[in-house]
Amino acid sequence: MAYERVHSRGADHHLRQSGDLISSLPDEILQQILSLIRTKFAIRTSILSKRWRHVWLDTPSLSFDSFSLKAHTINQTLARYTARKMKTFHICTRMRQNVPYIDTWIKFAMSRNVENLTLRFDHLPSSNMPEFFYNNSSVEQLSLELHFSPMIPICYVPWTSLKKLSLSSCKLSDECTATILSCCPILESVTLDSCDQLNVLDLSKSQHLTTLEIDQSLGPTQIVAPYIRYLSLTNFKLPCTLVDVSSLTAAILETSLCLFKNLKSEDILVVLLKMLEKLRDVEKLTFSAKFLQTLSLALALGRCPFPSVKVNDLTLETTLSSVEFPGIEKLLQNSPGVKKLTLHVLEPGTVPLLIPIMNIDYQNLESEHVVSFIKVLLKFTKTLEKVVVRLACYIDGRGFEELLGMVSMLSHEYNVSIVLSSTCRIRGRSLECY
């Protein structure tokens, strides 16, 4: 007990010393630290001591990300804020009674020449977006999320400094999108999440645009993006034509058969193979388990020439189900130059099987099943130099050790480097990478 008391006193003394060291830092450094946490927590540091009372007032970032936050709380904070230049302004609200104050909040951020602006609102009429929002040259990163709001109006937006644009739950017409893009001469990244009304996404004039991410959208049905280097298409719901993606070096594709309800299997296969044809020169490709299932079922019901792809770094998400295997087999057979293959074994239930052909007991994943899956894949490739297997499913400690030994033998047998990594649950902890 005496030792514990002495040890406790020593710890308290150490904490006081550490606190003094932190407090002795210049305001600029403390403000950078506070900018990394939510504003409400940054404000709470003012009660620590007199030294901290006014530090938060000049933080370069403000974040109000509670959808239930009331307007008077935000207004009180802004009234006390003293920084003349703002790096980041992040505000989210779903309360209708806050709508009348939105103009004031946006104007406040603009008056500080904000660089990174995030606005997330519900039930906001387009007319309520102030005119000065569309007339700003300081914003470099803009994230706009408008749930249950009408289509964004077509208007001139001189966002001459904008490099990164993210639009979520926004209704966009082709004309509106074209106008926005034409006013952003140095745009480097575009993200569209759950956006609809868009048919043709023409990025042919955006020569600095290198990254395009589209998720859960009803469009576009055509993508013209000759300068992008990275493309991510996830949960796309309509047949999507890649008209021009000639500069791509990396791409991620994810879809599902249920999203093509109005198409015949032969038509689905044609759509997917046309996309693969446009990706034939891409160096790094990632296919989701849903994409592989869709491709497998389409291959079983349709006949069409399969393009040869020049990928050398291939990532396949898989549930280790045989319903994905025909698609995987066909991809490997038509990837003669692949050198690195990554298998990301998913958690059970994360991807519902379109046809439950094979039932796997994920609660006690057998090492033999994983090894057999890898062994069959190795037979379809001759240029492989490295295989990475990432387990995200349950496996017990003994099974993991057994799997390590079997993988080691397989590596020698096929003269391929095989790396096994896992975040599997085991006795309350996670296994690190091996």
Mean pLDDT value across the chain = 81
Q: What is the average per-residue pLDDT within 140-144? A: 94
333 occurs within a structural domain? yes
Count how many domains the chain has.
1
Closest Cα partner for 170 from 148, 190, 188, 155? 148
292 occurs within a structural domain? yes
Reply yes or no on whether the pLDDT at 161 is more than 70. Answer: yes
Q: Residues near 183 by Cβ (< 8 Å), separated by ≥ 6?
A: 156, 157, 158, 159, 160
pLDDT given at position 130: 73
**pLDDT, tens digit, 9 for 90 and up, residues 238-259:** 678 899 999 999 999 987 555 5
337 occurs within a structural domain? yes
Closest Cα partner for 355 from 413, 292, 309, 285? 292
pLDDT given at position 370: 81
Reply yes or no on whether the pLDDT at 186 is more than 60. Answer: yes
Reply yes or no on whether the pLDDT at 393 is more than 50. Answer: yes
Helices 325-333, 367-378: inter-axial angle, 10-degree rounding: 30
pLDDT given at position 113: 92
Range of the domain at 357: 255-434
Quote the CA–CA distance of 38 and 64 in Å, as a whole number: 7
Quote the CA–CA distance of 348 and 363 in Å, as a whole number: 9
Residue-by-residue DSSP string for 67-97: TT--HHHHHHHHHH---SS-SEEEEEE--GG
pLDDT given at position 206: 94
Q: What is the average per-residue pLDDT within 371-400? A: 81
Classified as helix, coil or strand, 65 is coil
389 occurs within a structural domain? yes
pLDDT band at 380 (very low <50, low <70, confident <90, very high): confident
268 occurs within a structural domain? yes
185 occurs within a structural domain? no
Reply yes or no on whether the pLDDT at 14 is more than 70. Answer: no
Question: How would you classify the pairing of strands 141-147 and 164-168?
Answer: parallel
pLDDT given at position 98: 83
pLDDT band at 305 (very low <50, low <70, confident <90, very high): confident
Bond before 305 cis per omega within 30 degrees: no
pLDDT given at position 340: 95
Q: What is the average per-residue pLDDT within 28-38? A: 87
Answer whether 177's CB lies under 8 Å from 151's CB. Answer: no
CA torsion angle 142 148 153 158 (round to 10) = -10
pLDDT band at 397 (very low <50, low <70, confident <90, very high): low
11 occurs within a structural domain? no
- Is 382 or 163 the better-scoring residue by pLDDT? 163
Cα 253 to Cα 37, 221, 270, 283, 318: the distances in Å are 34, 15, 15, 14, 13
- Is 190 or 298 the better-scoring residue by pLDDT? 190
Reply yes or no on whether the pLDDT at 148 is more than 70. Answer: no
The owner of tokens 């388990």 is 289
Reply yes or no on whether the pLDDT at 400 is more than 70. Answer: yes
Instruction: Phi first, then psi: give them for residue 57, nearest 5 degrees.
Output: -60, -25
Quote the CA–CA distance of 367 and 396 in Å, as a whole number: 10
- Is 269 or 73 the better-scoring residue by pLDDT? 73
Reply yes or no on whether the pLDDT at 58 is more than 80. Answer: yes
**CATH number of the domain enclosing 413:** 3.80.10
Answer whether 364's CB lies under 8 Å from 410's CB. Answer: no
pLDDT given at position 125: 60
- Is 398 or 284 the better-scoring residue by pLDDT? 284
pLDDT band at 38 (very low <50, low <70, confident <90, very high): confident
pLDDT given at position 209: 96
**pLDDT, tens digit, 9 for 90 and up, residues 73-108:** 899 999 999 999 999 999 988 777 888 888 899 999
| Least confident stretch, 190-199, 237-246, 352-361 | 352-361
295 occurs within a structural domain? yes
